[in-house]
Protein backbone atom coordinates (compact mmCIF):
# COMPACT_ATOMS: atom_id res chain seq x y z
CA UNK A 1 0.00 0.00 0.00
CA UNK A 2 1.26 3.44 -0.82
CA UNK A 3 -0.33 6.18 1.23
CA UNK A 4 -0.88 9.45 -0.57
CA UNK A 5 2.01 11.80 0.26
CA UNK A 6 1.48 15.56 0.57
CA UNK A 7 5.10 16.25 -0.34
CA UNK A 8 5.95 17.69 -3.75
CA UNK A 9 8.89 15.39 -4.30
CA UNK A 10 9.00 12.88 -7.18
CA UNK A 11 8.15 9.20 -6.89
CA UNK A 12 10.93 6.76 -5.86
CA UNK A 13 12.01 6.18 -9.46
CA UNK A 14 13.07 9.88 -9.60
CA UNK A 15 15.28 9.69 -6.52
CA UNK A 16 18.19 11.26 -8.43
CA UNK A 17 16.30 14.57 -8.63
CA UNK A 18 15.91 14.99 -4.85
CA UNK A 19 18.02 17.61 -2.97
CA UNK A 20 21.49 16.39 -2.02
CA UNK A 21 22.72 19.23 0.19
CA UNK A 22 21.24 21.00 3.19
CA UNK A 23 21.07 24.24 1.21
CA UNK A 24 19.10 22.59 -1.61
CA UNK A 25 16.80 20.94 0.92
CA UNK A 26 16.13 24.24 2.68
CA UNK A 27 15.32 25.85 -0.66
CA UNK A 28 12.78 23.10 -1.41
CA UNK A 29 9.28 22.77 0.00
CA UNK A 30 10.23 19.93 2.34
CA UNK A 31 9.39 20.53 5.98
CA UNK A 32 10.38 18.67 9.10
CA UNK A 33 7.61 16.72 10.88
CA UNK A 34 7.49 14.19 13.67
CA UNK A 35 6.75 10.66 12.54
CA UNK A 36 3.27 10.80 14.08
CA UNK A 37 2.51 14.09 12.31
CA UNK A 38 3.70 12.52 9.08
CA UNK A 39 1.53 9.43 9.54
CA UNK A 40 -1.50 11.49 10.57
CA UNK A 41 -1.27 13.88 7.61
CA UNK A 42 -0.71 11.09 5.10
CA UNK A 43 -3.57 9.09 6.58
CA UNK A 44 -5.94 12.06 6.39
CA UNK A 45 -4.90 12.65 2.77
CA UNK A 46 -5.64 8.98 2.03
CA UNK A 47 -8.94 9.20 3.91
CA UNK A 48 -9.96 12.29 1.95
CA UNK A 49 -9.17 10.67 -1.39
CA UNK A 50 -11.09 7.50 -0.57
CA UNK A 51 -7.99 5.33 -0.73
CA UNK A 52 -7.73 1.76 0.57
CA UNK A 53 -6.17 1.82 4.02
CA UNK A 54 -5.55 -1.82 4.87
CA UNK A 55 -5.56 -4.08 1.79
CA UNK A 56 -6.04 -7.77 2.48
CA UNK A 57 -7.64 -7.22 5.91
CA UNK A 58 -11.02 -8.98 6.04
CA UNK A 59 -13.87 -8.56 8.52
CA UNK A 60 -12.59 -5.51 10.41
CA UNK A 61 -14.30 -2.70 8.48
CA UNK A 62 -16.82 -1.88 11.20
CA UNK A 63 -14.85 -2.89 14.27
CA UNK A 64 -11.04 -2.74 14.26
CA UNK A 65 -10.32 -0.38 11.37
CA UNK A 66 -12.29 2.62 12.79
CA UNK A 67 -10.40 2.31 16.09
CA UNK A 68 -7.05 2.29 14.27
CA UNK A 69 -8.08 5.30 12.19
CA UNK A 70 -8.96 7.33 15.28
CA UNK A 71 -5.74 6.30 17.04
CA UNK A 72 -3.70 7.47 14.02
CA UNK A 73 -5.43 10.85 14.02
CA UNK A 74 -4.93 11.13 17.79
CA UNK A 75 -1.21 10.39 17.45
CA UNK A 76 -1.27 7.37 19.76
CA UNK A 77 1.18 4.56 20.22
CA UNK A 78 -0.90 1.39 19.90
CA UNK A 79 -1.24 -2.08 21.37
CA UNK A 80 -2.98 -4.70 19.21
CA UNK A 81 -4.65 -7.09 21.64
CA UNK A 82 -6.02 -10.37 20.34
CA UNK A 83 -5.54 -14.11 20.05
CA UNK A 84 -3.19 -15.71 17.58
CA UNK A 85 -3.98 -15.50 13.89
CA UNK A 86 -5.98 -12.25 14.06
CA UNK A 87 -3.71 -10.22 11.73
CA UNK A 88 -2.09 -8.17 14.51
CA UNK A 89 1.37 -8.21 12.94
CA UNK A 90 -0.02 -7.55 9.47
CA UNK A 91 -1.93 -4.50 10.70
CA UNK A 92 1.21 -3.11 12.32
CA UNK A 93 3.23 -3.59 9.14
CA UNK A 94 0.54 -1.93 7.05
CA UNK A 95 0.79 1.23 9.15
CA UNK A 96 4.18 1.82 7.55
CA UNK A 97 2.24 2.55 4.36
CA UNK A 98 1.34 5.96 5.80
CA UNK A 99 4.98 7.02 5.95
CA UNK A 100 6.40 9.26 3.20
CA UNK A 101 8.05 7.59 0.23
CA UNK A 102 11.39 9.10 1.31
CA UNK A 103 12.68 11.39 4.03
CA UNK A 104 16.06 13.21 4.06
CA UNK A 105 18.79 12.63 6.63
CA UNK A 106 22.30 13.84 7.31
CA UNK A 107 24.64 11.64 5.30
CA UNK A 108 27.76 11.17 7.40
CA UNK A 109 29.30 7.93 8.78
CA UNK A 110 29.89 9.51 12.19
CA UNK A 111 26.13 9.87 12.76
CA UNK A 112 24.69 6.61 14.18
CA UNK A 113 21.07 7.19 13.08
CA UNK A 114 19.00 8.97 10.42
CA UNK A 115 19.22 12.48 11.82
CA UNK A 116 16.72 15.14 10.75
CA UNK A 117 18.74 17.72 8.74
CA UNK A 118 16.79 20.61 10.28
CA UNK A 119 16.65 19.23 13.85
CA UNK A 120 19.56 16.81 14.51
CA UNK A 121 19.45 15.07 17.89
CA UNK A 122 22.99 13.65 17.93
CA UNK A 123 26.13 15.55 18.82
CA UNK A 124 27.73 14.40 15.57
CA UNK A 125 24.78 15.71 13.59
CA UNK A 126 24.81 19.07 15.29
CA UNK A 127 28.57 19.40 14.75
CA UNK A 128 28.18 18.56 11.07
CA UNK A 129 25.53 21.23 10.53
CA UNK A 130 27.38 23.86 12.62
CA UNK A 131 30.81 23.17 11.16
CA UNK A 132 30.13 23.38 7.42
CA UNK A 133 28.40 25.61 4.96
CA UNK A 134 24.91 24.35 4.11
CA UNK A 135 26.01 23.82 0.51
CA UNK A 136 28.57 21.31 1.85
CA UNK A 137 26.32 19.35 4.25
CA UNK A 138 25.43 16.09 2.43
CA UNK A 139 21.86 14.81 2.40
CA UNK A 140 20.69 11.26 1.62
CA UNK A 141 17.17 9.82 1.48
CA UNK A 142 15.70 7.06 3.64
CA UNK A 143 13.01 4.91 1.93
CA UNK A 144 9.73 3.98 3.55
CA UNK A 145 10.51 0.23 3.44
CA UNK A 146 13.47 0.70 5.81
CA UNK A 147 11.62 2.85 8.32
CA UNK A 148 9.70 -0.01 9.93
CA UNK A 149 11.28 -2.62 12.20
CA UNK A 150 9.80 -5.23 14.52
CA UNK A 151 11.06 -7.59 17.14
CA UNK A 152 9.70 -10.70 18.89
CA UNK A 153 9.83 -10.16 22.65
CA UNK A 154 11.06 -13.58 23.91
CA UNK A 155 14.83 -13.45 24.29
CA UNK A 156 15.08 -9.73 23.57
CA UNK A 157 17.68 -7.94 25.71
CA UNK A 158 18.06 -4.30 26.70
CA UNK A 159 21.07 -3.92 24.42
CA UNK A 160 19.10 -5.29 21.45
CA UNK A 161 16.49 -2.58 21.33
CA UNK A 162 17.79 0.24 23.56
CA UNK A 163 21.57 0.06 23.47
CA UNK A 164 24.73 -0.58 25.44
CA UNK A 165 28.12 0.94 26.20
CA UNK A 166 30.56 -0.22 23.49
CA UNK A 167 33.70 -1.62 25.23
CA UNK A 168 35.75 -1.32 22.03
CA UNK A 169 35.14 2.43 21.96
CA UNK A 170 36.05 2.73 25.63
CA UNK A 171 39.28 0.89 24.93
CA UNK A 172 39.99 3.43 22.21
CA UNK A 173 39.83 6.27 24.73
CA UNK A 174 36.21 7.41 24.24
CA UNK A 175 34.64 8.84 27.39
CA UNK A 176 31.96 6.65 28.93
CA UNK A 177 29.76 9.73 29.33
CA UNK A 178 29.77 10.62 25.63
CA UNK A 179 27.36 9.59 22.90
CA UNK A 180 30.21 8.09 20.92
CA UNK A 181 30.64 5.40 23.58
CA UNK A 182 27.18 3.98 22.87
CA UNK A 183 26.16 1.12 20.65
CA UNK A 184 22.55 1.97 19.82
CA UNK A 185 19.80 -0.65 19.71
CA UNK A 186 16.89 -0.99 17.30
CA UNK A 187 14.64 1.71 18.73
CA UNK A 188 17.16 4.58 18.55
CA UNK A 189 18.10 3.43 15.06
CA UNK A 190 14.44 3.69 14.12
CA UNK A 191 14.44 7.39 15.02
CA UNK A 192 11.85 8.97 12.66
CA UNK A 193 10.34 5.56 11.95
CA UNK A 194 8.04 2.89 13.39
CA UNK A 195 9.09 0.14 15.80
CA UNK A 196 6.84 -2.83 16.69
CA UNK A 197 7.26 -5.28 19.56
CA UNK A 198 5.40 -8.58 19.18
CA UNK A 199 4.23 -10.52 22.27
CA UNK A 200 4.85 -7.66 24.71
CA UNK A 201 4.09 -9.68 27.92
CA UNK A 202 7.07 -11.92 27.17
CA UNK A 203 9.47 -8.95 27.27
CA UNK A 204 11.91 -8.91 30.18
CA UNK A 205 10.86 -6.49 32.93
CA UNK A 206 14.11 -4.50 32.67
CA UNK A 207 13.47 -3.94 28.97
CA UNK A 208 9.87 -2.96 29.71
CA UNK A 209 11.23 -0.23 31.98
CA UNK A 210 13.35 1.03 29.09
CA UNK A 211 10.30 1.02 26.81
CA UNK A 212 8.32 2.89 29.46
CA UNK A 213 10.96 5.62 29.53
CA UNK A 214 10.77 6.02 25.76
CA UNK A 215 6.96 6.22 25.85
CA UNK A 216 7.03 8.76 28.69
CA UNK A 217 10.03 10.98 27.94
CA UNK A 218 10.86 10.01 24.34
CA UNK A 219 14.50 9.68 25.31
CA UNK A 220 17.02 6.87 25.73
CA UNK A 221 19.10 6.42 28.88
CA UNK A 222 21.72 3.68 28.97
CA UNK A 223 23.27 2.40 32.21
CA UNK A 224 22.42 5.59 34.06
CA UNK A 225 24.92 7.75 32.22
CA UNK A 226 23.84 11.32 31.38
CA UNK A 227 23.54 10.65 27.66
CA UNK A 228 20.08 11.27 26.25
CA UNK A 229 18.51 11.14 22.81
CA UNK A 230 15.14 12.74 22.14
CA UNK A 231 13.90 9.84 20.03
CA UNK A 232 11.08 10.42 17.55
CA UNK A 233 9.52 6.99 17.05
CA UNK A 234 6.03 5.53 16.77
CA UNK A 235 5.74 2.46 18.99
CA UNK A 236 3.43 -0.47 18.30
CA UNK A 237 2.87 -3.60 20.38
CA UNK A 238 0.97 -6.86 20.09
CA UNK A 239 -0.20 -9.21 22.83
CA UNK A 240 -2.55 -12.07 23.63
CA UNK A 241 -5.25 -11.11 26.18
CA UNK A 242 -4.59 -14.16 28.35
CA UNK A 243 -1.00 -13.06 29.03
CA UNK A 244 -1.42 -9.28 28.79
CA UNK A 245 -4.10 -9.27 31.48
CA UNK A 246 -2.19 -11.61 33.77
CA UNK A 247 -0.87 -9.79 36.81
CA UNK A 248 2.84 -9.03 36.67
CA UNK A 249 3.38 -9.80 32.98
CA UNK A 250 3.38 -6.14 31.88
CA UNK A 251 4.40 -3.38 34.30
CA UNK A 252 1.48 -1.00 35.06
CA UNK A 253 3.49 2.09 34.12
CA UNK A 254 4.01 0.72 30.60
CA UNK A 255 0.33 -0.19 30.18
CA UNK A 256 -0.67 3.28 31.33
CA UNK A 257 1.40 5.02 28.69
CA UNK A 258 0.23 3.10 25.63
CA UNK A 259 -2.13 5.50 23.92
CA UNK A 260 -4.70 3.10 22.43
CA UNK A 261 -5.55 -0.58 22.77
CA UNK A 262 -6.95 -2.05 19.55
CA UNK A 263 -8.96 -5.23 20.14
CA UNK A 264 -8.86 -7.70 17.24
CA UNK A 265 -11.14 -10.71 16.73
CA UNK A 266 -11.79 -13.74 14.55
CA UNK A 267 -14.20 -13.49 11.57
CA UNK A 268 -17.74 -13.11 12.85
CA UNK A 269 -19.31 -14.73 9.82
CA UNK A 270 -18.32 -17.95 8.06
CA UNK A 271 -18.42 -16.23 4.68
CA UNK A 272 -15.74 -13.78 5.85
CA UNK A 273 -13.59 -16.67 7.08
CA UNK A 274 -13.91 -18.34 3.68
CA UNK A 275 -12.98 -15.10 1.94
CA UNK A 276 -9.90 -14.87 4.15
CA UNK A 277 -8.73 -18.45 3.63
CA UNK A 278 -9.18 -18.18 -0.15
CA UNK A 279 -7.17 -14.97 -0.13
CA UNK A 280 -4.38 -16.29 2.06
CA UNK A 281 -4.15 -19.90 0.90
CA UNK A 282 -2.79 -18.86 -2.48
CA UNK A 283 -4.17 -21.94 -4.24
CA UNK A 284 -3.69 -21.72 -7.99
CA UNK A 285 -6.95 -23.02 -9.40
CA UNK A 286 -5.64 -22.61 -12.94
CA UNK A 287 -2.63 -24.88 -12.40
CA UNK A 288 -1.65 -27.45 -15.04
CA UNK A 289 -3.77 -29.72 -12.82
CA UNK A 290 -6.65 -27.30 -12.10
CA UNK A 291 -8.68 -27.50 -8.91
CA UNK A 292 -12.39 -26.86 -8.49
CA UNK A 293 -13.49 -26.62 -4.85
CA UNK A 294 -17.25 -27.12 -4.23
CA UNK A 295 -18.78 -24.45 -1.98
CA UNK A 296 -19.73 -27.00 0.69
CA UNK A 297 -16.10 -28.13 1.03
CA UNK A 298 -14.98 -24.54 1.67
CA UNK A 299 -17.77 -24.18 4.21
CA UNK A 300 -16.74 -27.37 5.99
CA UNK A 301 -13.09 -26.30 6.23
CA UNK A 302 -14.06 -22.97 7.79
CA UNK A 303 -16.72 -24.58 9.98
CA UNK A 304 -14.07 -26.93 11.40
CA UNK A 305 -12.22 -23.85 12.66
CA UNK A 306 -15.41 -22.24 13.98
CA UNK A 307 -16.31 -25.46 15.81
CA UNK A 308 -12.82 -25.72 17.28
CA UNK A 309 -13.13 -22.16 18.61
CA UNK A 310 -16.26 -23.17 20.49
CA UNK A 311 -15.09 -26.61 21.66
CA UNK A 312 -14.79 -27.25 25.38
CA UNK A 313 -11.89 -29.57 24.59
CA UNK A 314 -9.76 -26.73 23.16
CA UNK A 315 -7.93 -24.15 25.24
CA UNK A 316 -9.79 -21.03 24.11
CA UNK A 317 -7.34 -18.69 25.83
CA UNK A 318 -4.75 -19.84 23.31
CA UNK A 319 -7.22 -19.47 20.44
CA UNK A 320 -7.51 -21.19 17.08
CA UNK A 321 -5.62 -19.22 14.47
CA UNK A 322 -6.83 -18.37 10.98
CA UNK A 323 -3.71 -20.26 9.90
CA UNK A 324 -5.56 -23.41 11.02
CA UNK A 325 -8.15 -22.91 8.25
CA UNK A 326 -5.54 -21.88 5.69
CA UNK A 327 -3.30 -24.90 6.32
CA UNK A 328 -6.24 -27.32 6.22
CA UNK A 329 -7.55 -25.79 3.01
CA UNK A 330 -4.16 -26.17 1.35
CA UNK A 331 -3.91 -29.78 2.55
CA UNK A 332 -7.38 -30.63 1.25
CA UNK A 333 -6.62 -29.12 -2.17
CA UNK A 334 -3.23 -30.87 -2.28
CA UNK A 335 -4.89 -34.23 -1.58
CA UNK A 336 -7.38 -33.66 -4.39
CA UNK A 337 -4.62 -32.65 -6.79
CA UNK A 338 -2.54 -35.67 -5.76
CA UNK A 339 -5.46 -37.94 -6.67
CA UNK A 340 -6.08 -36.12 -9.95
CA UNK A 341 -2.48 -36.53 -11.07
CA UNK A 342 -2.34 -40.21 -10.13
CA UNK A 343 -5.64 -41.05 -11.84
CA UNK A 344 -5.37 -38.62 -14.73
CA UNK A 345 -8.55 -36.76 -13.75
CA UNK A 346 -9.25 -33.11 -14.38
CA UNK A 347 -10.30 -30.96 -12.68
CA UNK A 348 -9.21 -32.03 -9.20
CA UNK A 349 -12.21 -31.75 -6.89
CA UNK A 350 -11.80 -32.10 -3.10
CA UNK A 351 -14.02 -34.63 -1.30
CA UNK A 352 -14.83 -35.43 2.31
CA UNK A 353 -12.30 -38.27 2.18
CA UNK A 354 -9.57 -35.70 1.50
CA UNK A 355 -10.17 -34.39 5.03
CA UNK A 356 -8.50 -37.58 6.23
CA UNK A 357 -5.19 -35.85 5.53
CA UNK A 358 -5.76 -32.65 7.51
CA UNK A 359 -4.48 -34.26 10.71
CA UNK A 360 -0.98 -33.37 9.48
CA UNK A 361 -1.88 -29.69 9.15
CA UNK A 362 -4.13 -29.55 12.24
CA UNK A 363 -2.46 -31.41 15.07
CA UNK A 364 -0.06 -29.09 16.85
CA UNK A 365 -2.14 -26.02 16.02
CA UNK A 366 -4.74 -26.98 18.63
CA UNK A 367 -3.97 -26.80 22.34
CA UNK A 368 -6.17 -29.09 24.42
CA UNK A 369 -7.93 -27.85 27.54
CA UNK A 370 -6.66 -30.36 30.09
CA UNK A 371 -9.74 -29.83 32.24
CA UNK A 372 -12.24 -30.24 29.42
CA UNK A 373 -10.63 -32.86 27.19
CA UNK A 374 -11.22 -35.75 29.66
CA UNK A 375 -8.05 -37.54 28.56
CA UNK A 376 -9.02 -37.49 24.88
CA UNK A 377 -6.16 -37.41 22.40
CA UNK A 378 -5.72 -34.55 19.95
CA UNK A 379 -6.80 -36.86 17.13
CA UNK A 380 -9.99 -37.88 18.94
CA UNK A 381 -10.84 -34.24 19.65
CA UNK A 382 -10.22 -33.33 16.01
CA UNK A 383 -12.39 -36.25 14.82
CA UNK A 384 -15.27 -34.93 16.90
CA UNK A 385 -14.76 -31.39 15.64
CA UNK A 386 -14.73 -32.52 11.99
CA UNK A 387 -17.90 -34.58 12.49
CA UNK A 388 -19.69 -31.65 14.15
CA UNK A 389 -18.61 -29.30 11.34
CA UNK A 390 -19.87 -31.66 8.64
CA UNK A 391 -23.20 -32.08 10.47
CA UNK A 392 -23.61 -28.30 10.77
CA UNK A 393 -23.03 -27.64 7.07
CA UNK A 394 -25.04 -30.71 6.03
CA UNK A 395 -28.08 -29.66 8.06
CA UNK A 396 -28.00 -26.26 6.38
CA UNK A 397 -28.12 -27.94 2.98
CA UNK A 398 -30.84 -30.36 4.07
CA UNK A 399 -33.10 -27.37 4.69
CA UNK A 400 -32.77 -26.53 1.00
CA UNK A 401 -32.47 -30.01 -0.53
CA UNK A 402 -34.26 -32.92 1.09
CA UNK A 403 -32.13 -36.06 1.33
CA UNK A 404 -34.51 -38.16 3.41
CA UNK A 405 -35.22 -40.45 0.46
CA UNK A 406 -31.53 -41.36 0.19
CA UNK A 407 -31.46 -42.26 3.88
CA UNK A 408 -34.44 -44.57 3.29
CA UNK A 409 -32.52 -46.40 0.54
CA UNK A 410 -29.74 -47.07 3.05
CA UNK A 411 -32.29 -48.39 5.50
CA UNK A 412 -32.99 -51.14 2.99
CA UNK A 413 -29.43 -52.41 3.24
CA UNK A 414 -27.31 -50.39 0.78
CA UNK A 415 -23.52 -50.57 1.24
CA UNK A 416 -21.14 -48.03 -0.36
CA UNK A 417 -17.36 -47.81 -0.32
CA UNK A 418 -15.57 -44.51 -1.02
CA UNK A 419 -12.05 -43.17 -0.52
CA UNK A 420 -9.59 -40.43 -1.41
CA UNK A 421 -8.00 -42.67 -4.06
CA UNK A 422 -11.21 -43.96 -5.68
CA UNK A 423 -11.65 -42.70 -9.28
CA UNK A 424 -14.54 -40.29 -9.76
CA UNK A 425 -16.04 -42.50 -12.48
CA UNK A 426 -16.51 -45.33 -9.96
CA UNK A 427 -19.00 -43.22 -8.05
CA UNK A 428 -21.46 -43.54 -10.93
CA UNK A 429 -22.18 -47.11 -9.78
CA UNK A 430 -23.34 -45.72 -6.43
CA UNK A 431 -26.20 -43.86 -8.05
CA UNK A 432 -27.03 -46.38 -10.77
CA UNK A 433 -29.83 -48.15 -8.87
CA UNK A 434 -31.79 -45.06 -7.80
CA UNK A 435 -30.62 -42.20 -10.04
CA UNK A 436 -33.69 -40.04 -9.44
CA UNK A 437 -32.92 -39.84 -5.72
CA UNK A 438 -29.32 -38.78 -6.28
CA UNK A 439 -30.26 -36.19 -8.87
CA UNK A 440 -32.17 -34.47 -6.08
CA UNK A 441 -29.07 -34.59 -3.91
CA UNK A 442 -26.88 -33.20 -6.69
CA UNK A 443 -28.74 -29.92 -6.38
CA UNK A 444 -26.33 -28.99 -3.58
CA UNK A 445 -23.70 -28.43 -6.29
CA UNK A 446 -25.30 -28.53 -9.73
CA UNK A 447 -22.74 -30.03 -12.14
CA UNK A 448 -22.43 -32.92 -14.54
CA UNK A 449 -18.68 -33.31 -14.01
CA UNK A 450 -17.96 -36.79 -12.52
CA UNK A 451 -15.44 -35.40 -10.03
CA UNK A 452 -17.89 -32.79 -8.71
CA UNK A 453 -20.64 -35.39 -8.44
CA UNK A 454 -18.27 -37.72 -6.59
CA UNK A 455 -17.54 -34.94 -4.10
CA UNK A 456 -21.26 -34.32 -3.72
CA UNK A 457 -21.93 -38.02 -3.07
CA UNK A 458 -19.32 -38.14 -0.31
CA UNK A 459 -20.76 -34.99 1.26
CA UNK A 460 -24.23 -36.52 1.38
CA UNK A 461 -22.91 -39.78 2.83
CA UNK A 462 -20.75 -38.04 5.42
CA UNK A 463 -23.67 -35.79 6.35
CA UNK A 464 -26.00 -38.75 6.81
CA UNK A 465 -23.41 -40.36 9.05
CA UNK A 466 -22.76 -37.15 11.02
CA UNK A 467 -26.50 -36.79 11.66
CA UNK A 468 -26.70 -40.44 12.78
CA UNK A 469 -28.78 -41.78 9.89
CA UNK A 470 -26.24 -44.35 8.62
CA UNK A 471 -23.13 -46.05 9.96
CA UNK A 472 -19.51 -45.85 8.82
CA UNK A 473 -16.40 -47.99 8.95
CA UNK A 474 -12.99 -46.45 8.12
CA UNK A 475 -9.84 -48.39 7.30
CA UNK A 476 -6.63 -47.48 5.47
CA UNK A 477 -7.96 -44.59 3.42
CA UNK A 478 -11.26 -46.31 2.58
CA UNK A 479 -14.67 -45.62 4.09
CA UNK A 480 -17.67 -47.95 3.99
CA UNK A 481 -21.12 -46.49 4.65
CA UNK A 482 -23.67 -49.10 5.74
CA UNK A 483 -26.89 -49.57 7.73
CA UNK A 484 -26.62 -53.20 8.75
CA UNK A 485 -26.59 -53.43 12.50
CA UNK A 486 -27.12 -49.67 12.83
CA UNK A 487 -30.02 -48.62 15.02
Domains and CATH numbers, the chain: 12-263 (3.40.50.300), 270-482 (no CATH)
Q: Are 326 and 359 in contact (CB under 8 A)?
A: no
Q: Which of 283, 322, 281, 280 is nearest to 304 (CA)?
A: 322
User: Rounded CA gap, 351 and 431, in Å?
Assistant: 17
Q: Tell me what the mean pLDDT of segment 311-326 comes to.
A: 88
What is the share, in percent, of the chain residues with pLDDT greater than 70?
85
Mean pLDDT across the chain? 85
Least confident segment among 200-204, 219-223, 334-338, 378-382: 219-223
pLDDT surpasses 60 at 163: yes
- List C-alpha distances in Å: 483 to 120, 413, 480: 81, 6, 10
- Residue 407 in this model has a pLDDT that exceeds 90: no
Stretch 148-171: mean pLDDT: 85
What pLDDT, on a 0 to 100 scale, did the predictor assign at position 476? Answer: 66
Convert the pLDDT of each residue in 231-273 to its tens digit: 899 999 999 998 998 878 999 989 999 999 999 999 999 999 9
264-274: string of b/e by CB count within 10 Å (b at 16+)? bebbeebebbb
Q: 417 CB contacts (<8 Å, ≥6 apart)?
A: 478, 479, 480, 481
Query: What band does 486 get if pLDDT is binned at 50, 70 and 90?
Result: very low
Q: What is the pLDDT of residue 77?
A: 95
| DSSP code at position 11 | P
- Kindly tell me the burial class for residue 385, based on how many C-beta atoms sit within 10 Å of its own C-beta (0-12, 13-18, 19 or more): buried
pLDDT band at 10 (very low <50, low <70, confident <90, very high): very low
Assess contact for 185 and 162: CB atoms under 8 A: yes
Q: What is the mean pLDDT of residues 119-138?
A: 94
CB 43 within 8 A of CB 3: yes
Using a pLDDT cut of 90, give the percent of the chain over it.
51
| pLDDT(3) > 50 | no
pLDDT for the residue 8: 39
Q: How many Cα neighbours within 13 Å face the side chain of 86? A: 23
Rounded to whole angstroms, what are the CA distances from 23 to 1, 7, 27? 32, 18, 6
Amino acid sequence: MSAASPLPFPAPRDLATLPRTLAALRASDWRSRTVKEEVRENFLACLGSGGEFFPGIVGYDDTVIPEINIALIAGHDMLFLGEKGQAKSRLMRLLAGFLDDWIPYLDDPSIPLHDDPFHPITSAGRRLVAGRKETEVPIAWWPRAERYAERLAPGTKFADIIGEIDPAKLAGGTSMASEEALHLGLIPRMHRGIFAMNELPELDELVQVGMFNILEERDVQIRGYPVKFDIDVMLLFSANPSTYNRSGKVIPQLKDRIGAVIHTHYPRERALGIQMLEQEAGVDGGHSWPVLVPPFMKEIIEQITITARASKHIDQQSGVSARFSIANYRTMVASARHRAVRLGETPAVPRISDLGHIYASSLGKLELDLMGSHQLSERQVLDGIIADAIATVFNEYVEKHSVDAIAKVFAEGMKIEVGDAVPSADYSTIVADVPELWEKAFEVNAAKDPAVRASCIEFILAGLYATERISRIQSHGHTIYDTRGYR
